[in-house]
A and B are shown apart, each in its own frame.
Chain A
Amino acid sequence: DQQVKQNSPSLSVQEGRISILNCDYTNSMFDYFLWYKKYPAEGPTFLISISSIKDKNEDGRFTVFLNKSAKHLSLHIVPSQPGDSAVYFCAASARSNTGKLIFGQGTTLQVKP
C-alpha cells in the first residue's frame, strides 16, 4: 500500500522555466512533509519541508505548497537550472510517531540548457 505517491516518473524542462513536481499522500496522520534531492551514487539531500499547519514554504528558488484537503503537495523550482537535474523524493512523516519517513517513488527531473 503506497501511502506517498509521485505519479510522474520523469519531468523535463528548459533552463529558466518553472519545474513543478507533484506528490500525493493517503495517510491523514502525516503532519510533516519533506522534499529530498538525490544525485547518482549519493544519498538523498534535504531540500525543503513544510508542516501541516502551513500551506506554503519558500526557500530561495524552491517553494513547497501543501493542499491538505486534497492530500497533495507540490515543489516548484523557479527558475530551473541544469544543476537541478536529479531525482526528487517526496517524503511524509507523522512527527508524533518515530519520525520515520515514508517516501514516494521519486521523480527524475532533467533541466535542459
Chain B
Amino acid sequence: EAGVTQFPSHSVIEKGQTVTLRCDPISGHDNLYWYRRVMGKEIKFLLHFVKESKQDESGMPNNRFLAERTGGTYSTLKVQPAELEDSGVYFCASSRDRVEAFFGQGTRLTVV
C-alpha cells in the first residue's frame, strides 16, 4: 500500500510569488490533514478535510492560504502571495478513522 505522497519535496520561491503544494493521501482515507512546522518548533494543525469537505479550518494562518480537495482524492495547498514567515515544512496526513494519522515526507518551503 502506497503511503502519503507530497510534491514537491522542496520549493524555493521569492516573496510575493505563488506556490502550490500537493498531497496524495493513502487510498481509502477520507480524512486528510495539513500541518506545518516552522523553524523547528511544534507541528501545527492547519486544516482537516473529510472527503472533499472542509471540516476544520481553524489553523489556517490567513486568507493567503487556500486548500482544496476536489473529488475527495488528492489535496492542494496554495499560498498566494507568499511571505517570508510562510517558510517551513508543510506536512500532509491522512487517516481512515480519525485516530492514527499517517504522514507524508513533507514539503520544505523557503520564501526568500
Contacts and interface: CB of A to CB of B under 8 A. Distances in A.
Given A41-B105, A89-B43, A103-B43, A95 B98 contact: yes
Contacts of B42: 2, 4, 89, 103-106
B101 A99 contact: yes
Interface residues of B, number: 26
Contacts of B43: 44, 89, 91, 101, 103
Nearest to A104: B42
Contacts of A44: 43, 91, 103
B91 A100 contact: no
A105 B101 contact: no
Contacts of A105: 41-42
Say what secondary structure dominates the interface of chain B. Answer: strand
A100 B104 contact: no
Interface centre among A43, A46, A98, A104, by most chain B C-beta atoms within 10 angstroms, is: A43
Q: Which of under 10, 10 to 19, 20 to 34, or 35 or more describes the interface residues of A?
A: 20 to 34
B45 A42 contact: no
Interface string B8-31: 000000000000000000000001
A101 B45 contact: yes
Interface of A: 2, 4, 32, 34, 36, 41-46, 49, 89, 91, 93, 95, 97-106
